[in-house]
Structure 1
């Protein structure tokens, strides 16, 4: 109400309202009979087609309301359409009732301009048309509530269907046969692609599967299980790879989930302690990543990857080539305690926060050419088996942005 009052005070609605009242008053004063005929015809039309009139008025009101809101707020998933919301039903019914009452009032006033039997007839018509429109307002309210109830039932059924699919797929992941487990993974992928709200949950399930103990070559870990795990990796990488036109973490975070787009934005990845084989997450984007004590077998790639917030690789091990070239870390980047068994490339990497390489073992050469660092970086107790990667004062990137702590060469 305060907003409406402010608009009237500021003159946004007062001038059109006063103009409409003035025109109506002048028409009644100039020709009462003609005005009576117009009002009568309007009343008859409203009484004959109340639902059509109300739906048209509601549609116009909804378009005007939404037009004012475009660009000022993001759509909220799961909200009722305006016409089916409590506010929409109240506005439509109230508007219709007000129109009926106004028509009845005007017709009663004009009825006093005539005498005798004609006055009585006109008064009865006024009451009939006015109450008819008001009664129709109740019918419209019942209709809208029924439609909303039906939509609510359909949404509940859809949620139950998704729950059943999710439950069945998770049960398949525990099956003894590898093809059944593969089917469960693909079912979860389809569920997440069609329902963006379920994507983080599905990613959590796939990550939990990869975190389960696995040792290649053991009697209990068959080659089929190895293929199942590669499929889980492929699904994650496939949907975390940024679109070609998106190059930064900010652009990726700004994308809205879309069932038609394969990229899943705003995802957290927790692969703590996971065994990952040939894990190539090049050009991927995640919000937060946890690879603590993970084992990376073979060549691993995070080239061009973007991390919106913190990335934890604490205690991980890489037995092959580790490529972080061009990666961008938006938060804290923790590589403490990592063992790099092969060549490690951090060329052109960007650290926006603190970067830790304490107690890291570089068994072979490490490349940091062109790296930029906006916060502190530490190589305390780091060992470089392939030679010192820095020359002279070890400032990486823009001079003055890196503050030396301690490093063992």
Structure 2
């Protein structure tokens, strides 16, 4: 190799020397009178050029050598990380809970050190939570120490969702808890910016907390989830352009709380959900340009609270929902350009309450709704530029109560409504500039 390099260097030097000689010869010939070529100048130029070429070649060689060294180091690191992954995975599958706990922490540290495979490490932790789990210590299949392992995984995940700008944050990653069983856990104050799935999960006892969590553009999926005695807490959480989907979920004796939550452009879906003796709480929540959708949901002996909530340009939609002995409570809520829609809903012995609510430019719509023994209560509510719409509604043995309500520059529509044994009560109500569209039926009590 060395003789070849010497030959190449010699040929290159010879070529540079002749090029330099020709250059200097031309320059000397152009002078008046012509001068002879200065060989020393030619030699200096040749040596300088060779030195520069040598420096460039040396730099390229050093750079290539560095790349090879870095590649070797990277492969060594990757091999070490892969070994750590294998060890942690084996620990997670161990029979003893203490060893499984060690595997949880080892995998979390590995995720911090291995950014390229961080999602894989997260997926393994989530997969562990998706494995069969029996929370009852007296039931067959219960594993000693298993709850502690699972709670530790949840705690580790939460710890990595607290600071979105941290180098080891997991906020932008996805979490798949499909079909998992939860008997508590804490995701409070976490920041979710990716997709999180609780599809088909079961919540039995305990509290799963998302209190003061932030959902910014992410999606949380509870589609088909089952809540039987447990609590999911989104109190004081913030939803900004994100989505929380409880479509077709079943709530039996459980609680989902959004008290004090803020919805700004976010969406919460309960489409087709079933509520049987459970509670959904939006007390004190703020809705601005967001959507809460209960389309085609079924309420039987359940309760949905919006007490003291504020609606500004947002929509709460109960279209086509069925209420049987249940309660939807908007007491003290404020509606400013917001919409609450019960279009096509069916009420049988249930209650929808807007007591002391304030309507300023907002809309409450019961178009084509059916009331059979149910009650809609607007007692002491204030209407200032707002609208209540019962167009085409059917009332049989129910009550719509505006007792002591105040109307100023609002509109109430009953066009096409049908009353059969039902009552509309305006006793004690105050009217000033309010427009009523009654249709053809006799005037109600107090009108």
TM-score normalised by length of structure 1: 0.63
Check 1:365–1:138 CA distance in 2 against 1; reply closer, same or farther (3 A cut): closer
Structure 1 CA distance, aligned partners of 2:160 and 2:22?
Answer: 64
Q: 5 Å matches for 1:6-405?
A: 108=24, 112=28, 119-216=38-135, 217=137, 218-240=139-161, 242-243=162-163, 252=164, 255=165, 258-259=167-168, 263-286=169-192, 287-296=194-203, 297-307=205-215, 308-318=217-227, 319-329=229-239, 330-336=241-247, 337-349=249-261, 350=263, 352-353=266-267, 355-361=269-275, 363-369=277-283, 370-372=285-287, 374-375=290-291, 377-383=293-299, 385-387=301-303, 389=305, 397-399=311-313, 401-405=315-319
2:290/2:313 contact within 8 Å kept: no
Deviations 1:251-307 (A, max 9, x none): x4xx4x614xxx322011110111223212112122111101212231221112233
TM-superposed deviation, 1:214:
0.8
Check 1:224–1:120 CA distance in 2 against 1; reply closer, same or farther (3 A cut): same
Structure 2 CA distance, aligned partners of 1:357 and 1:335?
Answer: 7
1:303/1:325 contact within 8 Å kept: yes
Q: Which has the higher helix share?
A: 1
Structure 1 CA distance, aligned partners of 2:22 and 2:106?
Answer: 64
Check 1:343–1:378 CA distance in 2 against 1; reply closer, same or farther (3 A cut): closer
TM-superposed deviation, 1:379:
4.5
Structure 2 CA distance, aligned partners of 1:401 and 1:145?
Answer: 62
Structure 1 CA distance, aligned partners of 2:286 and 2:21?
Answer: 79
Q: Which 4+ runs in 1 deviate beyond 4 A?
A: 103-107, 113-116
1:343/1:366 contact within 8 Å kept: yes
Q: Rg bigger for which structure?
A: 2
2:279/2:303 contact within 8 Å kept: yes
TM-superposed deviation, 1:141:
1.3
Structure 1 CA distance, aligned partners of 2:39 and 2:235?
Answer: 91
TM-superposed deviation, 1:399:
5.0
Q: Which has the higher strand share?
A: 2
TM-superposed deviation, 1:335:
1.0
2:94/2:100 contact within 8 Å kept: yes
Structure 2 CA distance, aligned partners of 1:353 and 1:295?
Answer: 22
1:365/1:385 contact within 8 Å kept: no
Check 1:303–1:400 CA distance in 2 against 1; reply closer, same or farther (3 A cut): closer
TM-superposed deviation, 1:104:
5.9
Match of 1:82 in 2: none
Higher relative contact order (CA 8 A, sep 6+): 1
1:111/1:119 contact within 8 Å kept: no
Match of 2:327 in 1: none
Deviations 1:77-109 (A, max 9, x none): xxxxxxxxxxxxxxxxxxxxxxx99x9699947
TM-superposed deviation, 1:207:
0.5
2:296/2:318 contact within 8 Å kept: no
Question: Once superposed, what is the RMSD of the aligned Cα atoms?
Answer: 3.2
TM-score normalised by length of structure 2: 0.58
TM-superposed deviation, 1:343:
3.8
Aligned to 2:182, the other structure's residue is in SS state: strand
Aligned to 2:312, the other structure's residue is in SS state: coil
Check 1:197–1:338 CA distance in 2 against 1; reply closer, same or farther (3 A cut): farther
Check 1:221–1:291 CA distance in 2 against 1; reply closer, same or farther (3 A cut): same
Paired residues, what number? 291
Match of 1:32 in 2: none
Deviations 1:317-342 (A, max 9, x none): 33233321232343332213231524
Unaligned ranges ≥5, structure 2: 1-15, 324-447
Structure 1 CA distance, aligned partners of 2:269 and 2:186?
Answer: 22
Structure 1 CA distance, aligned partners of 2:314 and 2:82?
Answer: 54
Aligned to 2:101, the other structure's residue is in SS state: helix
1:300/1:321 contact within 8 Å kept: yes
Match of 2:420 in 1: none
